[in-house]
Amino acid sequence: MQISRKSWNNWFLVLGVLVLAIAPLILIRGAEFGGADGKAESAIQEVNPNYKPWATPIFEPASGEIESLLFAVQAGLGAGVIGYVIGLYRGRQEQRERQEIREKNHS
């Protein structure tokens, strides 16, 4: 079985993503990887210590790990929906092109 050039490119992309995801965990030991919400909250408190948020969360997860899990699930579902829509439109376009070729050949 021969592996195509396109397949190799896909594997290199997967490897690159894994390196980018794992490298900070290995190279920056003991670092705290916080989210933008925490940074924004501390910046607001620095600028205006009397600031009171005008909205409160509807649901507060029990721990940071659960919050991260829910965020990852949300991101995965969003990526799945976007991928499905792109695939659907691409498939429709290819089907339309094949139909046009068939009609051209039968004419």
* Most confident option among 29-33, 56-60, 62-66, 100-104: 100-104
pLDDT exceeds cutoff 80 at 69: yes
**Rounded CA gap, 4 and 1, in Å?**
10
The per-residue pLDDT for range 12-44, each reduced to its tens digit, is: 999 999 998 888 778 887 777 677 777 888 899
The per-residue pLDDT for range 82-95, each reduced to its tens digit, is: 999 999 999 999 99
> 24 and 30 in contact (C-beta within 8 Å)?
no
> 98 and 107 in contact (C-beta within 8 Å)?
no
| DSSP code of residue 37 | H
What's the pLDDT score for residue 104? 86
Sorted by sequence, the CB contacts under 8 Å of residue 31 that are 6+ apart come out as 24
The residue to which tokens 């940074």 are assigned? 39
